[in-house]
Structure 1
């Protein structure tokens, strides 16, 4: 089964007066939909837009795997374990909140910042917080997230290029940029598809495309 969710269907959140605009793909904060709480391990997929100087002040997380993908601009991250980094397009940032961590996320630059933040539920709660950044991850290089039974695949496709979509109990596909045809459905930036037990699915780029694919085991 494939369930397509359009960018226009996302719930709008954030604080526009503070330079924060958020678009939520699943139930998040004040937006509650009992039929859209999670998909596989994915419990949040937020598209965040921060104006220059805007950001999220220090706040806590626990028992969550947080993966961040910058679309445009630069994201400054600081957390209670002592990490302070700047994340740019092409980098994968992962914060394992585990038993508890606090962090700050801010646009310290002069240009607008857009990033995608994906939260995944761990297979087991607890443990020590961990932080990792992979700089400039290459196309087709999988990023393993064993704590959530998940694997992230980054695909950058030229016009007409095809890529196999992993066979998995759960597969979450998000179009970062470009237009792609997935199993007959045309997907554009911000669109997502949720595949359950699908096999032999291909993605075909209609334009130059950047595509994130979460391959997940059953939970």
Structure 2
């Protein structure tokens, strides 16, 4: 089964300083058909206006990944981390037993555009943790580069779940496949541009959900940036 999740059908909230599209149920948006996909719980596409952001707030028992598309995202947390996240970088915060943090666009010149991704961990109550790593365009060009994994394979960022996230850049004849083993779920989200994914033309914000399919196939990209997830099933 491959199901299309069009960008325009996502939940939407515009608060002025924040314009946010929700791939899964979040805050005031609830769709019983789209609560989670395996442990993939949140993909919010956020645009934060200059000088604005999310004040200090708390999380627990969630793997939180930030993926910046343009601009820069300032981060500060109760673990003592203070960083700026820019395009090409992947940041992970394991909330575990509890952490507070803030996220701001400190640049006065334009909006920060980023994805915030939440993955439900496979065990609760872990010690909070933080990681951040840059992945070059060359590492992602014409292939699916492993950026998040449970074991840190290929120098990826680790999470507390048997889930993997890949990032790729595709143009023209560039193509890549990702095998999905029996019993696994797949999910593809187009960050920007457009691409042909398993025969479906996807544009920015579109997604495909996979169940009982052997592989993800990406080709025919036009300035495409794509995220692909290999996920366990959750009852």
The TM tier, using the shorter chain, reads over 0.9
Q: Which residue number corresponds to residue 7 of structure 1?
A: 7
Measured against aligned partners, the alpha-carbon deviations of 1:151-189 in whole angstroms (never above 9, x if no partner) come to 111111121211103314111111111111111110001
Counterpart contact for 1:160–1:207, Cα < 8 Å = no
Alignment root-mean-square deviation, CA: 1.3
Q: Which runs of 5 or more residues in structure 2 are unaligned?
A: 151-159
Runs (4+) of structure 1 exceeding 6 A deviation are none
Deviation at 1:208, TM superposition (A): 2.3
Deviation at 1:217, TM superposition (A): 2.0
| Range moving further from structure 2, 111-120 or 5-14 | 5-14
Q: How does 1:99-178 map to 2 (within 5 A)?
A: 99-110=97-108, 111-137=110-136, 138-139=139-140, 140-146=144-150, 147-168=160-181, 169-178=184-193
Q: Which residue number corresponds to residue 50 of structure 1?
A: 48
Question: When the two structures are aligned, how many residues end up with a matched partner?
Answer: 217
Q: Which residue number corresponds to residue 155 of structure 2?
A: none
Secondary structure at 1:8 match in 2: helix
Q: Measure, in 1, the Cα distance between the counterparts of 2:60 and 2:179.
A: 29
- Cα distance 1:42–1:134, how it changes in 2: closer, same or farther (>3 A)? same
| Range moving further from structure 2, 37-46 or 194-203 | 194-203
Counterpart contact for 2:97–2:125, Cα < 8 Å = yes
Q: Which runs of 5 or more residues in structure 1 are unaligned?
A: none
| Range moving further from structure 2, 99-108 or 197-206 | 197-206
Residue in structure 1 matching 2:61, options 60, 63, 75: 63
Measured against aligned partners, the alpha-carbon deviations of 1:31-65 in whole angstroms (never above 9, x if no partner) come to 12222110011111100001101100011000000
Q: Which residue number corresponds to residue 185 of structure 1?
A: 200
Measured against aligned partners, the alpha-carbon deviations of 1:87-131 in whole angstroms (never above 9, x if no partner) come to 000000000001110000010012211001110000111111000
Q: Measure, in 2, the Cα distance between the counterparts of 1:21 and 1:145.
A: 29
Q: Measure, in 1, the Cα distance between the counterparts of 2:212 and 2:116.
A: 25
Counterpart contact for 1:180–1:207, Cα < 8 Å = yes
Q: Measure, in 2, the Cα distance between the counterparts of 1:145 and 1:200.
A: 18
Q: Measure, in 2, the Cα distance between the counterparts of 1:193 and 1:141.
A: 19
Q: Which TM-score applies when normalising by structure 2?
A: 0.88
Q: How does 1:66-85 map to 2 (within 5 A)?
A: 66-85=64-83
